[in-house]
Amino acid sequence: MQLRSTSRGTRESTHTEVDVVAIGTREATWGADPLEFEGGFRSLEYDPKASFRSSLPTDGAARWNVTSAKTFDSTHSVNSSLSIGYSNVDWDFLKSIYGWAAVQYQAWARGELIVGGNETQAVILHTDAILEFWVNNTHYFGGDFYSYRNAPPVLHLDPGRHRIDLRLARDVRAFGGILEPTIDVVVGVEKVSGSLDLAKPGILMSDVIDGYLATPQGSISLRNSGTRDIEITGIHPANVSTNFSTVFPLLRLSTGDQMLVARDAEGIMSAESMHDTADKSNVRIAAGQTRSVAFNITLSPKNASSIAYNVTYEIVGTGKTSSLEVTQTLNHVSTYHPHKITYLHPGGTVSYAMLRPPAKNATCKHKQNKLPVLLALHGAGLEADDPMVTEALDPVSDLCAWVVFATGVTPWSGDDWHNWGFADVEAAIDAIPSWISSSRWLGPGVDTNRWIVSGHSNGGQGTWYTTTHRPDKVLAAIPVSGYSSIQKYVPYELWQPADPRRTSVISAALNSYRHEMLMDNIRGIPIQVQHGEIDDNVPAYHSRLLALQLQFAGTNASYNEVPNQNHWWDDIMTTPELIEFYHKQVSNMEKLPRELEEFDIVVGDPGDMGSKGGVKVTQLEDPGNYGRVHVRGRTVKTSNVLSIEFGPPFWKDTVVIDGQTLDFTAATNKERLSVHLSRNVWIVQDTTTLEESHGRHGRQLGSMTAILRTHGPVTIHHPDSANASHLALQVSRNLQQYFRANSMLLAGNAKTRSDSTTGNVIRLAIGAAASSTTADFPIKVSSSGVSIRDYRGREQSYSEARGAAWLQPLDSERLELVLWGADDEGLGQAARLIPMLTGVGQPDFVVLSEKAKWKGLDGVLALGFFDSEWQVTPSSFVS
């Protein structure tokens, strides 16, 4: 494949060379590239006679092949799309044995980027559906697996030929299971200004309802495509008097100041003064970095059709200032229609949801002042403002509920509605009261602790997640065509073989998302499950299985299987059964939390688990195993649970835990009572004691994905070297790409600056330079490798360790994720482990050997979990 990036616009006939090798579901993060055993694809030259061992094709041999890419080019961009298929693999036979796992495979492709002219070009490189690639000898991991195009890398290419090697990994969930087993990817090259650019057109802002902005929070997504850092100095309303006849995107590369201007509106734009919320010290955008900048918008006049803002900035170290103009067409809608509201995600970035307030003519039978929230969670690949999402509940326009079509920040809901995505759902719900108080709303109020949850596909899975993790808030649930867990969706067969003790750790890291194991948590909640009988995307098996598990858990789920229907059809969310259920549940007057005589709580990760029946597990003894609480009346029995909080209104007086009677009357804090297992004896504890102790608690709990529970942007610390800076930038881009999460890059030992922030920290370290934040931490690194103290107190040393990643505590419930490398290359290996895709299963700590590059998980030297004292758990693999 050749990507011609010149302004001449010539179209080139193209080719590429590939091979085929097996890979498992979400395995690529661990390495598992057999060609690495032979020095890596980058070290190979095209040779039609060469063959490579592979478990998939005829003869067990993969070979080079030549394929044409389709290339489309214009003055400013080139797209090259590549479709790869194999005739020497019997996919159908493999599928009959291994199922969808068989049609997940990996391949490498090579092409060239050719830059004409005689000037260095600043370009961005889009890598749709690609996780890993090399440009010449520079490695990029993270790519753009879901084709978001949020944060592409910036390349400054000299005239000439640049080799580009693409690692292609087929993923059934991302590519579709029923389709031909081809890999279809797009590489896009786009010319950029070489200075500050808009990374997304326009302004992320709310709709205008009856002449007023629904919410004030706005955000502009910016990319520094230059070679020096940029400091944003202000965002001010701009006066634009030009008439634009062109529709967006109009890209103008002005010759003078090299500023790329994007405009998306016609007519005269105006806006009143605003407040620059951008904390100055935060808004530095490193060369090559993408981040969003938040600010408050005020609207004037009421009938404006668009607004314009002027972002002023300084190029650090040059004293040069410049500005970038951003405009946004305003969307005027009625208060009662689904409309965009904005709010701050706890990660510090502005996000949005679509809100449908209760209809004007809604006749709520009972005299409720506060109506419940009806959550509608979208499927994978959809934006919440897509009419397919917002119009799905039109047939029930008069429901007595506040309908929230949540986004989860991205079309894949961040991490499938888990840590990052679910925090967004909760932030959206919490935005309703401020919407009510700032709008001129006179209708019914909202009870933000009373949810009816619904969703389709990945949103159906999100519905299961919400119901199993927030049982005390869920009034009723409607999971439609949802999958039960990623492992059940596309089996983890065909990973490189690995010691079961290692795979069990990966599996345990996903405990909180294995809904089929968590059905006990749903007991007492009305559930209407629905699935199309002939769904060939998410098989009806998932819903049938969960309905059965619910029966085992003592819950009567109503299961509606719709004959002859596939994954999606018109009115799927408003079948007669669902309509009846919505109406019944919006007027369900049950008190929450429910007081159940007997129930169980199953906990995979206390960090993302709410209460049930007022009982909240706050710590597990070994977070590598499920914890369980059985409650019958006032008698509580626990397994693998270390601390529990008992909340009002049911828990006062006395409780018998594991045969021991505890007196709650004497406790100082009557609101929440915390009990803790200390040397096999349960003791009542002041909840504040736990929070003040150095023990692992709250947002620190969970596996590596806990780093996503940051409050505020993530700080990325890195050594002051070219390679470490490249990796830090890559980490920053990955956070932006997959979660639209902002981060700050800090080189060298600028420790004080990150200590004054509220967010989590990712620290890159090489050689002996990594030190833990607490003395006596079980993981130590030195120039001779990594050593780990296991749960028996035994030190294991790994001199062959190349890279490692582990969580360690910071104050205020924060976390630091250390990425350590024996050298630059080892650090690159460790940096792959940053959470991006769900289902990878990174636990709390991982130590990698060189062999992981080709053997994947089995090349991991040690991995596992930390307990509440930050000590290695028995469930860990350390040997």
Ligand X SMILES: *[C@@H]1O[C@H](CO)[C@@H](O)[C@H](O)[C@H]1NC(C)=O
User: In the structure encoding, which two tokens stand for residue 248, read together?
Assistant: 């967006």
Rounded least distance, CB 361 to ligand X, Å: 4
Phi and psi angles of residue 401, each rounded to the nearest 5 degrees, phi first: -160, 160
User: In the 8-state DSSP scheme, what is residue 50?
Assistant: -
Q: For ligand X, which is the closer residue by CB, 71 or 876?
A: 71
Rounded least distance, CB 43 to ligand X, Å: 15
Q: How many other C-beta atoms lie within 10 A of the C-beta of residue 158?
A: 11
Phi and psi angles of residue 410, each rounded to the nearest 5 degrees, phi first: -130, 170
DSSP state string for 630-678? EEETTEEEEESEEEEEE-TTT--SEEEETTEEEE-TT-S-SSSEEEEEE
Q: Indicate whether 266 belongs to the interface with ligand X (CB under 6 A).
A: no
Question: What contacts 345, CB < 8 A, 6 or more positions away?
Answer: 351, 409, 423, 424, 427
Residues 718, 704: Cα–Cα separation, whole Å? 19
User: In the structure encoding, which two tokens stand for residue 311, read together?
Assistant: 């972002």
Pairing of strands 761-766, 815-821: parallel
Q: How many other C-beta atoms lie within 10 A of the C-beta of residue 492?
A: 19
Q: How far apart are the first and last CA of the chain?
A: 46
Question: SS3 letters for 428-445?
Answer: HHHHHHHHHHHCCCCCCE
Rounded least distance, CB 56 to ligand X, Å: 10
Q: Indicate whether 359 belongs to the interface with ligand X (CB under 6 A).
A: yes
Q: How far is CA 615 from the centre of its chain?
A: 28
Residues 642, 651: Cα–Cα separation, whole Å? 18
Q: Indicate whether 118 belongs to the interface with ligand X (CB under 6 A).
A: yes
Q: Indicate whether 556 belongs to the interface with ligand X (CB under 6 A).
A: yes
Give the interface size with ligand X as a residue count (CB under 6 A).
Answer: 42
Q: Indicate whether 301 belongs to the interface with ligand X (CB under 6 A).
A: yes
Q: For ligand X, which is the closer residue by CB, 400 or 446?
A: 400
- Within residues 448-477, the interface with ligand X by CB under 6 A covers none
In this structure, are residues 676 and 658 in contact, taking their beta carbons and an 8 Å threshold? no
Among positions 37, 46, 72, 541, the unique one binding ligand X when judged by CB under 6 A: 72
Residues 201, 35: Cα–Cα separation, whole Å? 40
Q: 114-124 b/e with 16+ CB inside 10 Å = b? A: bbeeeeebbbb
Taking contact as CB under 6 A, which single stretch among the options 160-168, 451-459, 692-700, 753-761 is the one that binds ligand X? 160-168
Q: For ligand X, which is the closer residue by CB, 553 or 834?
A: 553
Taking contact as CB under 6 A, which single stretch among the options 158-166, 223-231, 405-413, 633-641 is the one that binds ligand X? 158-166
Rounded least distance, CB 275 to ligand X, Å: 3
Q: For ligand X, which is the closer residue by CB, 238 or 786?
A: 238
Q: 244-259 b/e with 16+ CB inside 10 Å = b? A: beeebeebeeeeeebb
Rounded least distance, CB 825 to ligand X, Å: 18
Among positions 3, 32, 84, 354, the unique one binding ligand X when judged by CB under 6 A: 84
Taking contact as CB under 6 A, which single stretch among the options 47-55, 301-309, 414-422, 871-879 is the one that binds ligand X? 301-309
Rounded least distance, CB 545 to ligand X, Å: 19
Among positions 310, 558, 773, 871, the unique one binding ligand X when judged by CB under 6 A: 310
Rounded least distance, CB 141 to ligand X, Å: 17
Rounded least distance, CB 236 to ligand X, Å: 7
Among positions 398, 536, 590, 653, the unique one binding ligand X when judged by CB under 6 A: 398
Q: For ligand X, which is the closer residue by CB, 86 or 651?
A: 86
Q: For ligand X, which is the closer residue by CB, 40 or 647?
A: 40
Rounded least distance, CB 259 to ligand X, Å: 11
Rounded least distance, CB 18 to ligand X, Å: 7
Rounded least distance, CB 336 to ligand X, Å: 8
Q: Indicate whether 629 belongs to the interface with ligand X (CB under 6 A).
A: no
Rounded least distance, CB 504 to ligand X, Å: 36
Q: Indicate whether 277 belongs to the interface with ligand X (CB under 6 A).
A: yes
- Within residues 280-299, the interface with ligand X by CB under 6 A covers 296
Q: Indicate whether 88 belongs to the interface with ligand X (CB under 6 A).
A: yes
Residues 64, 789: Cα–Cα separation, whole Å? 46
Residues 484, 661: Cα–Cα separation, whole Å? 38
Residues 87, 663: Cα–Cα separation, whole Å? 71
- Within residues 185-244, the interface with ligand X by CB under 6 A covers 188, 216, 238-240
Among positions 6, 305, 639, 773, the unique one binding ligand X when judged by CB under 6 A: 305
Task: Respond yes or no on whether the N-terminal peptide bond of residue 338 is cis (omega within 30° of 0).
Answer: no
The contact set with ligand X (CB under 6 A) reads 65, 67, 72-74, 77, 79, 84-88, 117-118, 135-136, 157-158, 160-162, 188, 216, 238-240, 275, 277, 296, 301, 303, 305, 310, 312, 323, 325, 359, 361, 363, 397-398, 556
